[in-house]
Amino acid sequence: MYTAKHTFFCQSIDKGILSSDESNHAVRVLRLTEGNKISLIDGKGRIAIGEITVANKKELLFKIIESQQLSLKANQIHIAIAPTKNMDRFSFFIEKVIEIGVNQITPVLTFNSERKVLNIDKVRKNAISALKQSGNLFLPEIDELTSFKDFICNQSNHNQRFIAHCDEDVQKIELKKALDTQKNVVILVGPEGDFTTEEINLAKQNKFTPVSLGESRLRTETAGIVACHTVNLIA
């Protein structure tokens, strides 16, 4: 399917109108006008080509020329991760896992978390920007910051549960060897100071399997990206 040079996020493509933020970017920044073609995605697997019919500072209207709906992969990937103190690093993680493919992201608050407050609206806005750049058509669900205990105790819907950590005293299996590619998976990634022994034990009590992502000690955002890529590569 042909795609236009510029892509916009539109939750309700059939309505034929962009949000005020997307309209402003199209008209004032990109200087698009009537007759120009644009690509439209809704974050749910649909992509369309539209032709602009009205373009001004307040709104941009379009008519749909072509549309295609893709199906979501059967196995779902859920990454739960402690946000980094440096927000640029966390934004990098969000951008890369969206490029790779992820269904849900849960920021978790752990004992050693250095970031205890998160502007989730900004995170979701950055996720949409990453989606438009990546060519991926599925926007992951991004949850509010959740306590470790609350998260751990509410994952019975996942067939596979893993916790990636660096404690050398706890026996671990390589993630790529533990995966069943036909089942949904949730992977926990800890903060810069790693999970505590108590957190690891609580996870194990709730059927989370300790896993290794390789021999190197990875930074939090790198570990999240590696975990996501490993599942996508094998699935």
User: What domains are there in the chain, each with its CATH number?
Assistant: 7-69 (2.40.240.20), 77-234 (3.40.1280.10)
pLDDT of residue 233: 86
| Euclidean distance between CA atoms 74 and 123, whole angstroms | 26
Please choose, from the candidates 146, 145, 163, the residue with its C-alpha nearest in 3D space to the C-alpha of residue 205. Answer: 163
pLDDT of residue 152: 93
Residue 52 has pLDDT above 90, yes or no: yes
Least confident interval from 10-14, 50-54, 180-184? 180-184
Neighbours of 11 (CB within 10 A): 12
pLDDT of residue 113: 94
pLDDT of residue 126: 94
Neighbours of 15 (CB within 10 A): 10
Considering the chain, what is the average pLDDT of its residues? 92
pLDDT of residue 91: 96
Residue 157 has pLDDT above 90, yes or no: no
pLDDT in tens, 124-135: 999 999 999 998
- Sheet containing strand 46-55, edge to edge, reads 7-9, 37-41, 46-55, 60-69
Neighbours of 233 (CB within 10 A): 10
Model confidence band, residue 72 (pLDDT cutoffs 50, 70, 90): confident
Residue 85 has pLDDT above 90, yes or no: yes
Q: Which residues contact 119 (CB under 8 A, 6 or more apart)?
A: none
Model confidence band, residue 168 (pLDDT cutoffs 50, 70, 90): confident
Pairing of strands 46-55, 60-69: antiparallel
Q: Which of the pair, 191 or 181, is modelled with greater confidence?
A: 191
Contact of 60 with 155, CB cutoff 8 Å? no
| Euclidean distance between CA atoms 118 and 227, whole angstroms | 22
Share of the chain above pLDDT 70, in %: 99
- Stretch 161-185: mean pLDDT: 86
Burial 130-163 (b: 16+ CB within 10 A, else e): bbbeeebbbbbebbebeebeebbeebeebebbbb
pLDDT of residue 201: 93
Q: Which of the pair, 2 or 195, is modelled with greater confidence?
A: 195
Q: Which of the pair, 72 or 138, is modelled with greater confidence?
A: 138
pLDDT of residue 75: 83
Pairing of strands 37-41, 46-55: antiparallel
Contact of 59 with 13, CB cutoff 8 Å? no
